[in-house]
Amino acid sequence: TMNAFGLIQIGLLLSSTTIISSLQCNHLPLQQRKVIENSLRLLDKMGKEFPQQCLREKKSFRFPTQVLQPRQKETVGVAIEEIFQHIFYIFSKNLTLAAWDEKALDQFQNGLYLQIEQLEACVIKKHIQHHWRKEVSRLKLKKYFQKIHCFLTDKQHDLCSWEISRAEMRKCLQLIDKVTRKL
Amino acid sequence: ELKDTGWQELPGCQAVCGTGCDISSAISEYYDPHYVRVRAQAGPLVSPWSHTLEMVPEYVAEIGPPRLELQSTDGVVKVKVFPPEENESKKMWINDLSFKYNLVFWENSSHAQLQNKNVFPVDTIDDLAPNSTYCFKVQANLPMDGKQGWFSPISCVKTTQKAVDDLCATNLSVLALNMNFHLLWNNQGNQDVTYDVQYLLGFLKKLNDDHSDKWLSVPMCENITNTQCNFTSIATTAFFYLRVQARQGHNKSCLSREVEVDPLKTNGIGPPGVRLDLSDTLLHILISPPGGAEGEVMREHYDLSYRILYWKNSSDKEVVQQKEVKQTIATVSDVSPSSLYCVKVQAFSIAYNKSSAYSQQQCIHTPAGTPLPLVIFGIFMGALLVVLLVAASLVFVFYQAYNKIKYVFFPSCQPPLNIEGFGAQLFSSPYLSAAEEPVESCCVIESMVTEEGNQIHFTDYKHSKESSRDSGNYSNDDNTSGSKGSKETLDKEMV
């Protein structure tokens, strides 16, 4: 089943990239790979290794992997854009207690922001968002990020909740990286 | 009995007189499907349940109006947009940064023309007519969800007179080559003006907070007097804004317009370097990528390829050939000798639809080569010669060997017949191998061996002398006549 999953991903991303390329958004697939690479690097750079005392509180949020294999092939790009939007939002405020490297954090946010804006422009141009709206997995994705947001709010954005969230975002980006690399 | 089936009574919507009810209190999970049904009641009579309505709150919800604040200063209007649900603890649209705000405004005159502008939460509207009243309204949209929000109430404001400020830097432009960035601007003919170039990271404008205090100075471009700034140090691949603050004295300053910079889109790729090399009939084109040692980042981001143009510089019509490669070494194999070949190379990025200028033309002379048929003939003749030599020596060796064998095993000279038994012992006699000289034609018998005994008489001796004398004569004669002659002589002696 894993092999089939991999094949589906390749196929979907291939077709979605073909579509994005034809929108005069040719640089997006290449830029996206770089953004993901960079984001993972900066995510590691902004903090230290996971604190031992937070291991007790660690929980799994169960990222909905099926969002990267939707029924409509073109919507994988939209899914990635939405994921970036959510990550961008999470890392935008209440970061005092996390005590991370501000410069790395700024660059992380800036990279995501540029990609979001450019992806959005291309997607809207080709009306792909209409297909995305009907996707069932889209709601699962919103639920996933809602869970993380509520978790942070409940824990009042303390250090452990931030570190757990950062680890979760790393997992999420790594998954997108894997899907994008298979291209 | 309702609880068993999962259905719950909706509080506040029991025994409702009208044909509508607010069911918000029952909606808590915005991403889950909800099911609603209604039935009528008239006294004790109850109708059957209506058809079940299925809905997902997030899907049907509409975006409410944002809040708009305006401030008119210095000929421009500063706009601040507060997202919908700003004071709600439980939000439908959690990610309030994903909104795209569409500002609609018009001059409050008879023939008002509506203008649309996509604005950030904190933004500025300029290019407005001074001392006029403008009206604004804004809506929050979620384009990815295909939603357009409700418009805010209309708010109007009067613009002020813009102070004529010739201090400001104007005509900001960016020049970029191989990721070396320069900002240039115009001084409006002022003296004693110092400039401060500032930058703002792009994403900060997306946030709901005021970013006016987030501008940072570009290193080496603070308090400068010349009208240009090298901002390569901050131009990583991120996206940012630039502006120039002009200062005169202690209290006069002016901020220029902002310039957006997306480094990878703005940057120009410089031409690569070319070197040519020859080996046999191959022309090697060695490309040195643009940007040199520091240009590695640029090459990686653009995923550069190279377009090679090469042609033979001859008096006839030149045919320019093209080759596209990703590596920095290319080889042309079909070069003709004694010709001048010229090459020029261009770097390009398919992804970003950018290409550099062509490199300087490099030319090289191919050496005079030996014509091929002559070469083939020469090789053939050489091979032929070698073969002949080998064959000749082999033939010689075999001939010599044959002769030897023939001499040894099949000699042409037969031994004399009177040497009886000689033949039988022929092969065992060692005498044979020593005989290098031809057999003597005759031998001189100096003593007569009689049957009586071994005594040798003097008379006999004399006899023999005579005979020897005779023999000598005969032998002398016969010596010259050959082997056959010797046989006769011997016979005579015996008698």
Task: Say if B494 falls within a structural domain.
Answer: no
- Predicted pLDDT at B419: 65
Which residue pairs, CB below 8 angstroms and at least 24 apart, start in B23-28?
B27/B57
Buried b (16+ CB within 10 A) or exposed e, B184-223: ebebeeeeebebbbbbbbbbbbbbbeebeeebeebeebee
Task: Say if A71 falls within a structural domain.
Answer: yes
B78 and B123 fall within a common domain: yes
pTM: 0.75
The minimum CA-CA distance between B188 and chain A, rounded to whole Å, is 34
Task: Say if A51 falls within a structural domain.
Answer: yes
Does residue A168 carry a pLDDT above 60?
A: yes
Q: Give the CATH number of the domain where residue B306 resides.
A: 2.60.40.10
Task: Say if A7 falls within a structural domain.
Answer: no
Task: Say if B112 falls within a structural domain.
Answer: yes
CB contact under 8 A, B203 and A112: yes
Q: Give the CATH number of the domain where residue A118 resides.
A: 1.20.1250.10
Do B308 and B327 form a contact (C-beta atoms < 8 A)? no
A with B: how many residue pairs have Cβ under 8 Å apart?
Answer: 89
B257 and B305 fall within a common domain: no
Say if B118 is an interface residue toward chain A (CB within 8 Å). Answer: no
Region label for B451, one of left (φ > 0), alpha (ψ between -120 and 50) or beta (otherwise): alpha
Domain span at residue B243 reads: 170-266
Q: What is the pLDDT of residues B9-58, one digit of tens each?
A: 888 899 899 899 999 988 989 999 999 999 999 999 999 999 999 999 99
Task: Say if A3 falls within a structural domain.
Answer: no
- Predicted pLDDT at B477: 44
Determine the length of chain B.
495
Task: Please give the average per-residue pLDDT across B327-341, as a whole number.
Answer: 88
Beta-bridge partners for B117:
B103
CA neighbours closer than 13 Å in the CB half-sphere of residue B133: 7
Q: What is the pLDDT of residues B139-192, one digit of tens each?
A: 999 988 889 999 999 999 999 998 877 888 999 999 999 999 999 999 887 788
- Predicted pLDDT at B251: 82
Task: Please give the average per-residue pLDDT across B339-343, as a whole number.
Answer: 91
Region label for B223, one of left (φ > 0), alpha (ψ between -120 and 50) or beta (otherwise): left
Domain boundary among B131, B159, B187: B159
Quote the mean pLDDT of chain B.
84
Which residues of B are less than 8 Å from A38 in CB distance?
A: 237
Task: Say if A4 falls within a structural domain.
Answer: no
Task: Say if B381 falls within a structural domain.
Answer: no
Of A1-5, A128-132, B157-161, B425-429, minimum mean pLDDT range: B425-429
Task: Say if B324 falls within a structural domain.
Answer: yes
Which of A81, A88, A95, A113 should we substitute to test contact with B (largest number of B Cβ atoms within 10 Å)?
Answer: A113
Task: Say if B396 falls within a structural domain.
Answer: no
Task: Say if A168 falls within a structural domain.
Answer: yes
Q: What is the pLDDT of residues B363-394, one digit of tens each?
A: 998 887 766 777 888 899 999 999 999 999 99
Do B321 and B342 form a contact (C-beta atoms < 8 A)? no
Query: How many other CB atoms are found less than 10 A from the CB of residue B233?
Result: 11
Task: For residues B23 and B53, give the distance between their C-alpha atoms in angstroms, rounded to a whole number.
Answer: 13
Does residue B448 carry a pLDDT above 70?
A: no
Domain span at residue A121 reads: 29-181
Do A23 and A126 form a contact (C-beta atoms < 8 A)? yes
Domain boundary among B333, B366, B399: B366
- Predicted pLDDT at B200: 96
Domain boundary among B219, B246, B266: B266
Residues 66-105 in A contacting B (C-alpha not used; CB under 8 Å): 78, 81-82, 85-86, 88-89, 92-93
Query: What does the DSSP assignment read for B369-403?
Result: PPPHHHHHHHHHHHHHHHHHHHHHHHHHHHHHHHH
Task: Say if A10 falls within a structural domain.
Answer: no
More confident residue, B395 or A4: B395
Beta-bridge partners for B446:
none
Task: Say if B430 falls within a structural domain.
Answer: no
Task: Say if B44 falls within a structural domain.
Answer: yes
Chain A residue closest in CA terms to B261: A114
Q: What is the pLDDT of residues B84-103, one digit of tens each?
A: 999 998 899 999 999 999 99
Chain A residue closest in CA terms to B304: A30
Name the band, by pLDDT with cuts 50, 70 and 90, for residue B3: low
B57 and B119 fall within a common domain: no
Domains identified in chain A, total number: 1
Task: Say if A158 falls within a structural domain.
Answer: yes
